Every structure is written in C-alpha cells, then in structure tokens.
Amino acid sequence: MKIPKRKLFLLIIFAYVAFSLYAAYNVFFSTKVISRVHRVVKKETVSGGVRDGGAAPFLARDWNPWEDEQNKPKRYRVQIWGKAAIGIYLWEHILEGPLNPTDKVAQWREGELQSGKIDFSFYTGPAVVQGHVPLDMNSLVLVLNGREPQKVSYSTRWLEHVQALVKSRTVSHVAVVLLGNEHCHNDFISPYLKRNGGFVDLLFVVYDSPWINDKDVFQWPLGVATYRQFPMIRPNAQLITSNRPYLCNFLGTVYKNSSRETLMQVLKKSGLEEECITNAREKWLPQETADSLRRYQTALAQSELTLCPVGINSECYRIYEACSYGSVPVVEDVLTPGSCAAGSSSPLRLLKAAGAPFIFISDWKELHAILERERGMSQEQKVDRRRRLLEWYAGFRQQMKERFTEVIEENFFKNV
C-alpha cells in the first residue's frame, strides 16, 4: 500500500523528535547519574556479588538516583559588612578567614569561608559604602563602632540604611557586632533591637554590658588593636621555648591620678625598671608607627608577663596582644566608672568564664611579690605556662567562632 507523501512526512518528523528526546535522555543520565550508578554498582558488587556468573552487576531495588541531593547537608549564606576595625578581629582572628587583597590599607577587601552550616562573605574597607555593597543574600551581620559620638553618628547612618533594606524585604535577618562604649552607654542602638520593636535580631557587644542575656544579646571580646595594624600571630617553637630576658613589660600611656601612676611607682621603688621593659608616655597616641609597633611586639615576645592596668575600661587590647605572644597578662581586676557590670563576675566576665589563665590583681602593690615568684620559676615551668596560655587563647578564639556561628544558625535559620 502506497503511503501518502503527507503522512510519510509526518512520520519522519515524529521519528526525528522521538530520537532527539531519546538522545537527550541518555545524555542527561550519562552525565548526571552515572556517578551514582557507579557508586551503587560498586557497593552491590562488594556486598552481594553479581548476577548470572558475573555477566553484569545489578542495582539495589530501592536505589534513588537523587539521594545525593536529598542527603546533602543544607547550607546557609550570611554576609558580613565590616564598618569598624573590630571586624578584622572577627574575620581574621576568630573566623580565620582569608582577606584579599592582603594590603591592610586597601580601599576594598573581601573574603569567603565556611563555618558550621554557614557560608560567610566578608566586605570591609573605606570603599564599602551604603548602596554599593553587592547583596545577594538576605542575612546580614553589621560590624559597628559605638565608642564615641562621632562613631555613633556614623553607625546610626548604617543602621538606617539596613533598616530600609529590611523594610523593602531585601534583608530578612540582621545581627550587629558592636564595639560598645567603654562606660557601656549604648543607648543609641536600643531602638533598633527587635526586643524594642526594631529589626536587629542579635547583638554581640564588647564589654560587660548589663544587657547581656545570652538570648539576643551576647558578650563579644575586644581582641587586638587591628586599627593599629596589630597582626595575627602564628605560634612557633621559638615563641614557646625561647629564654625571655625580661620579667615584665608595660608600654603605654600613664594618666594623671590613675592606677598606672601607682604601677610605675611600684616598679621604680622595687628597683625593677631594669628587669621590666617600660616606656611610659603622658598622652595617648591613636596610631602606631612601624617602629613603635615593632618595639611593642618585641617587648611582648621578650617578657614573661605583660602588665595590664585599667584604662577607661578594665578590658584592653593589651590583654589579647599579650596572649598572642604567650606573655601572661597581669590584669588589674577592678570595676571602672560607668555601667559595665554584668553580674558578680564582672569585670572581664567573658574571659573569666572561659577560664583565662591570667594573673588577676586588685592593687599594683601586689606586683612585687608576683615578680619575686617569677624569679623562682625554672625555664621549664615558664615554657610550660607559655604553651598553656597559647593553647588557651587558640581554644578561646575557636570557642568564639563556634558560638558566633551556632547563635546565627539557631536564630536566623531555625525555621528554614
């Protein structure tokens, strides 16, 4: 029977379409599923052998070609905007994330890392300005400085910008890491907290604020002075085992009528000026020169103890910088004027709770006896103490990393 040309043409078209679909099907499964087939075949060959005398392996009856996607752990994305120097401590020292370019004065620096279930992106530098930061995720951490009026004004502008993003539904979750006021007067941020009708879900604040409840407000470490270019120190054998020529050090500003004057008097009266590196100045300098930073780091590396008198607050950068070099902080454990009290363990509640192996004193007149004990310690004892301090500090930073990540996971993504 002769097939009409029209029908023959339609049959050819149908066959061509069917063949194309079949080819596409084979390509899809060869590229997307072959790895799963190979894995299941290999598994069945080991556990149950092969059918028909080894002619071909067989697949498990309950095999699901999509099980890799189903079992793959869910990951979340969070962006961090570092608009205060303490953001560098968070990123490089706590989270241990990379930062490019490595030039510390670059206008724009960024990095990425994974922690827990979160993929973090970090942006910092003067060129990170409102409205010009790439935002392709709806969860945000904002790092701010609230120490003084000028910083508060700058931080408020950033909070208003993020608030607009929340209102436009561009951002759903917000946390703030705040370098708080040294008297713990942080009222400027209070209206922005979600507990007060604002949009900030979580606040990580430096110093012993009475707001801390470990629910939506958490204490955060001050860390090292990254704004003065203090680097991340990687411990090595020499740092741990070296014979340090000095008992202690204090390089810093001596304020009138402060306990720092008492400290200097004790060192002078005890004849300890030659056994301790001291360099007192009357006026605070906001920036280090390359030479002054080098001298300071050398003093930390060559001293068994670093003397840490109170300033405006009991917690100071010097504590963390001493830990970086394995020089035991001798910390003045007294409350300073202001509202920084978060219970009976204040001041320095966070460090004490973490079991910081420091020497705490309430009066610098105790220093003479402390240094006498130092003279009686063997090199082996000093090396062992140094190692324990460096291990503690590394563990403390890891603890802060895990806490930071877990708190964000639980609060931002618990219903996702």
Per-residue pLDDT, averaged over 167-176, amounts to 96
Q: Which residue matches tokens 């001798």?
A: 330
Residue 10 maps to a domain: no
Residue 405 maps to a domain: yes
Q: Look over the chain and give the mean of its residue pLDDT values, rounded to a whole number.
A: 86
CA nearest neighbour of 201 among 186, 187, 183, 218: 218
- Residues 163 and 291 grouped into a single domain: no
pLDDT tens per residue across span 236-271: 999 999 999 999 999 888 877 788 888 988 888 877
Residue 52 maps to a domain: no
Residue 158 maps to a domain: yes
* One-letter amino acid of 316: C
- Residues 86 and 202 grouped into a single domain: yes
Residue 33 maps to a domain: no
- Residues 215 and 242 grouped into a single domain: no
Residue 151 maps to a domain: yes
Asked if 304 and 247 touch (Cβ cutoff 8 Å), the reply is yes
Q: List the CATH number of the domain containing 328.
A: 3.40.50.2000
- Residues 264 and 168 grouped into a single domain: no
- Residues 141 and 252 grouped into a single domain: no
CA nearest neighbour of 144 among 106, 186, 111, 115: 186
Report the pLDDT value the prediction gives residue 125, as an integer from 0 to 100. 96
Report the pLDDT value the prediction gives residue 377, as an integer from 0 to 100. 97
Q: List the CATH number of the domain containing 102.
A: 3.40.50
- Residue 55 binned pLDDT confidence (cut-offs 50, 70, 90): very low
Helix (H) or strand (E) holding 98, with range, is none
- Residues 271 and 333 grouped into a single domain: yes
Phi, psi of 107 (to 5 degrees): -70, -30
- Residues 219 and 255 grouped into a single domain: no
Per-residue pLDDT, averaged over 71-99, amounts to 94
**Which domain, by its residues, includes 345?**
228-395
Q: Which residue matches tokens 């001050």?
A: 222
- Residues 324 and 177 grouped into a single domain: no
Sign of the alpha-carbon torsion through 299, 300, 302, 304 = positive
Residue 7 maps to a domain: no
- Residues 320 and 408 grouped into a single domain: no
Number of domains in the chain: 2
CA nearest neighbour of 327 among 359, 284, 366, 295: 359
Report the pLDDT value the prediction gives residue 73, as an integer from 0 to 100. 76
pLDDT of 36 > 80? The answer is no
Encode burial over 153-167: b for 16+ CB neighbours within 10 A, e otherwise.
eebeebbeebbebbe
Phi, psi of 406 (to 5 degrees): -65, -40
The C-alpha atoms of residue 331 and residue 315 are separated, in whole angstroms, by 9
- Residues 167 and 292 grouped into a single domain: no
CB atoms within 10 A of CB 238: 8
SS3 80: strand
Contacts of 142 (CB under 8 A, 6+ apart): 80, 81, 83, 158, 159, 162, 174, 175, 176, 177
The C-alpha atoms of residue 145 and residue 149 are separated, in whole angstroms, by 10
* One-letter amino acid of 302: Q
Q: What is the total residue count of the chain?
A: 416
Residue 25 maps to a domain: no
pLDDT tens per residue across span 135-164: 888 999 999 999 999 999 999 999 999 999
The C-alpha atoms of residue 134 and residue 153 are separated, in whole angstroms, by 24
- Residues 244 and 390 grouped into a single domain: yes
* One-letter amino acid of 128: V
Contacts of 172 (CB under 8 A, 6+ apart): 138, 139, 166
- Residues 170 and 251 grouped into a single domain: no
Q: Which residue matches tokens 């149908």?
A: 14
Q: Specify the range with the lowest mean pLDDT, choosing from 37-46, 94-103, 215-224, 258-267.
A: 37-46
Asked if 223 and 179 touch (Cβ cutoff 8 Å), the reply is no
